A and B are shown apart, each in its own frame.
Chain A
């Protein structure tokens, strides 16, 4: 991996050698600035607010302990997410009880787009598809993400919510960039299918017509 500082995350060594009180305190403040992003991601990974809080707290505990290993100029945000991912894999994953449907990977590439364009046969406005989208609530979208298998929830959250680059996601998850791309593509494809189903269930799309008729 390109980022060496990220590889030392699990080093149990505790100590603050080479880090002044001032720079430690500054790093801590910088790290805490990412707490909302870490919590949101923890929530999607654990699908439980109490587990998410514990995971974030444990992440900061480990991060503060390893702060002396953090090389200045490296990506603090990615470093924190990497610690959280490792913590999650080691301590939380086995607790996950809720099953996810890992089959069903034969979805059209752009399900939502293809189906919305077909479904909304009588445009009431210039952008009927966008009107359907706008009706999707935060709960609709987070519930839809939570329907995805774990590896899909991770990449979608890192890419589409937190805006990490493919390279950064590869570093956080310790997988090749090519795997990030294919996983993200499949995750987005699944998510769009689920969002379409949600839009139907919620009545956001009423003009359902397989034959193109109202």
Chain B
């Protein structure tokens, strides 16, 4: 069974879904038994979700989209 330090060291790889299934199970095994680590993971998950959610509110300006679309209308006839 992994201890707290080993589990916290894998926090981001776990949240980024970069761990192998075996490593994942080990982290989840610890989290199931350790409320402080669970709380820490939940908090970082919320921070990451918030950063993603807020930043993805920004879209490309319509004029830029129009310019790029126009560019690709011409592109096929380019030599």
Which of A57, A141, A142, A165 is the one whose CB lies under 8 Å from B18?
A165
B residues in contact with A113, CB < 8 Å: 40, 43-44, 47
Q: Which residue of B lies closest to A25 (CB)?
A: B76
Tell me how far the C-beta of B50 lies from the nearest C-beta in chain A, rounded to whole angstroms.
5
Does chain A have a CB within 8 A of B3? Answer: no
Does chain B have a CB within 8 A of A148? Answer: no
Complex alpha-carbon distance, A205 and B14, angstroms: 29
* Dominant secondary structure of chain B at its interface with chain A: helix
Taking a contact as CB atoms under 8 Å apart, the answer to whether B60 and A136 are in contact is no
Does chain B have a CB within 8 A of A14? Answer: yes
Going nearest first, the 4 A-B pairs with the smallest beta carbon separation are A39-B60, A161-B55, A28-B72, A138-B54
Tell me how far the C-beta of A91 lies from the nearest C-beta in chain B, rounded to whole angstroms.
17
Binding site for B on A (CB under 8 A): 14, 16, 21, 24-25, 28, 32, 35-36, 38-40, 43-44, 49, 53, 56-57, 60-61, 64-65, 67, 110, 112-113, 116, 129-130, 133-134, 136-138, 141-142, 145, 156-157, 159-161, 163, 165-166, 181, 184-185, 188, 191-192, 195
A residues in contact with B67, CB < 8 Å: 57
Which of A14, A53, A61, A110 is the one whose CB lies under 8 Å from B61?
A53
Most buried by A among B67, B68, B69, B71: B68
Q: Mark B1-42, 1 if CB is under 8 A from A, else 0.
A: 000000010001100111000000000000000000000100
